[in-house]
């Protein structure tokens, strides 16, 4: 074993960063044995000093992150501060001054992953980011390495624990959206401002990363269709139950059947109770991968939190340190396929549409005619009426998002249609 330690700079010492530092200290002997050399925490960059940080020598703490990554003797920079800047500049500066990087920054990778990979390659350094998607669940490395010889066709997953907790609570207790969100906030599953989670921004960033790796194509955050879950109601769950389904906020990345394009999207969807993702409860994450040779694979576990995310960071740290000792680098960006990223309008799936209609003869025929005129085939129809008003629930066969949008626009123009109560996609079949 080499006795001279590999030096690690830690950018950020919040929930994840402090846990990374703790594990590096308490598991130092095991990490050294696995790597083949000791690892030394050489500096910790924070926004403000003066706060006591258990297990961290105050002499290592600095507010000058730039000076830390420029030192020249740092082997690996661990970035867990999040956001776009200053993280982007710090990471590229680290590459330029001889360090490899381990990051948990999903937003930055989804927006500027190609540029970061290019900077790493130009300087002969590693960029690893297992912790950026689904916390402790090993997912990036299996897609990037274990399935490198296979053809991945679809990645379907629950990649945000906050939204899964809320939807699971609505499903299991009949609670409304706001009530379930309030409980998630009280329990610490949701931030004081939950927008990034409930509006799908967090999941969309993860979808961009997953799609890029799975399909060897550059997919940016702007390429991902995003729809939040604030409009999901208890009535939607009752409809899902009647169909033998539940509702999840899903990240879905798909290769087209002809293999020339891909799509990436995040939105609430009904999913059959028979599908493995339907049983994912609470704040857990799970990702379902479909490929030609391996078939169907499922990855499941805690998708957030200090310890789970730190576990993924430390796994990357071990891999990067091993590469460092061997004078090698791991796999970088693979974007050779350069497939077209298609818009949401091209996506084909099933739909569940709930309409408020007049309770009188001929309404069903009018609605059916509109669907037929837009080339959307109906699978099932359910109608309930009382006191001159009725609800009409239509479940379609597979149709494109564009054709469904045209159908709904035409339905709104019918005098007998009082309103469109809800539209939800049906996935996982």
8 Å CB contact between 300 and 285: yes
Beta bridge partners of 396: 378
21: its two tokens: 């530092």
* CA-based end-to-end distance of the chain: 52
Q: How many CB atoms lie within 10 A of CB 305?
A: 18
* Strand spans (E) along 20-75: 39-45, 61-62
Q: Are 245 and 269 in contact (CB under 8 A)?
A: no
Degrees to nearest 5, angle at CA 364 with 360 and 366? 100
| Cβ-count burial 61-78 (b if 16+ within 10 Å, e if not) | beeebeebbbeeebbbbb
Q: What is the CA radius of gyration of the chain?
A: 24
Q: Locate tokens 């969807």: which residue?
A: 269
Query: Distance between alpha carbon 175 and the CA centroid of its chain, in Å?
Result: 25
CA distance 90 to 111: 16
Number of helical (H) and strand (E) elements in the chain, helices listed first: 14, 18
User: Rounded to whole angstroms, how far apart are CA atoms 350 and 297?
Assistant: 23
Active site (catalytic) residues: 206
Instruction: For residue 25, count other CB atoms closer than 10 A to its CB.
Output: 14
C-alpha to C-alpha distance for 295 and 305, rounded to whole angstroms: 30
Residue found by looking up tokens 């992953």 in the block: 113
Compute the half-sphere exposure of residue 33: CA atoms within 13 Å on the CB side of its CA: 4
Q: Which residues pair with 158 in a beta bridge?
A: 286
Task: Evaluate whether 162 touches 283 at the Cβ level (below 8 Å).
Answer: yes
């Amino acid at each position: 074993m080499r006795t001279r330690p590999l030096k690690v700079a830690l950018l950020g010492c919040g929930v994840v960063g402090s846990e990374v530092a703790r594990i590096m200290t308490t598991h130092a002997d095991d990490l050294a044995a696995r790597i083949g050399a000791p690892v030394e925490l050489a500096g910790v960059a924070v926004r403000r000093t003066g706060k006591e940080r258990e297990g961290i020598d105050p002499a290592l703490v600095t507010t000058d992150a730039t000076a830390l990554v420029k030192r020249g003797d740092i082997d690996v920079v661990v970035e867990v501060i999040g956001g776009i800047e200053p993280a982007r500049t710090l990471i590229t500066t680290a590459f330029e001054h001889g360090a490899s990087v381990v990051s948990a920054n999903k937003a930055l990778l989804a927006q500027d992953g190609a540029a970061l990979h290019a900077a790493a390659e130009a300087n002969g350094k590693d960029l690893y980011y297992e912790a950026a998607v689904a916390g402790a669940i090993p997912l990036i490395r299996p897609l990037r390495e274990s399935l490198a010889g296979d053809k991945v066709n679809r990645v379907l997953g629950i990649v945000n624990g906050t939204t899964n907790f809320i939807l699971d609570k609505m499903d299991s207790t009949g609670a409304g959206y706001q009530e379930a969100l309030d409980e998630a906030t009280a329990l610490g599953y949701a931030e004081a401002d939950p927008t990034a989670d409930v509006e799908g921004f967090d999941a969309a960033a993860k979808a961009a990363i997953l799609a890029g790796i799975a399909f060897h194509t550059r997919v940016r955050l702007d390429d991902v269709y995003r729809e939040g879950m604030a409009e999901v109601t208890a009535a939607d769950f009752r409809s899902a139950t009647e169909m033998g389904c539940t509702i999840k906020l899903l990240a879905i990345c798909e290769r087209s059947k002809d293999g020339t394009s891909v799509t990436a999207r995040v939105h609430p969807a009904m999913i059959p109770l028979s599908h493995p993702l339907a049983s994912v409860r609470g704040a857990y994450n799970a990702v379902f991968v479909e490929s030609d040779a391996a078939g169907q694979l499922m990855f499941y576990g805690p998708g957030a939190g200090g310890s789970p995310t730190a576990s993924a960071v430390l796994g990357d740290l071990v891999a990067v340190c091993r590469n460092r000792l061997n004078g090698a680098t791991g796999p970088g960006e693979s974007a050779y396929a350069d497939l077209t990223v298609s818009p949401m309008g091209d996506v084909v799936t099933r739909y569940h549409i709930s309409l408020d209609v007049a309770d009188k003869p001929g309404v069903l025929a009018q609605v059916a005619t509109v669907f037929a005129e837009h080339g959307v085939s109906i699978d099932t129809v359910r109608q309930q009426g009382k006191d001159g008003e009725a609800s009409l629930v239509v479940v379609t066969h597979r149709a494109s998002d564009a054709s469904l949008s045209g159908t709904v626009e035409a339905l709104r123009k019918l005098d007998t249609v009082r309103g469109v109560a809800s539209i939800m996609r049906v996935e996982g079949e």
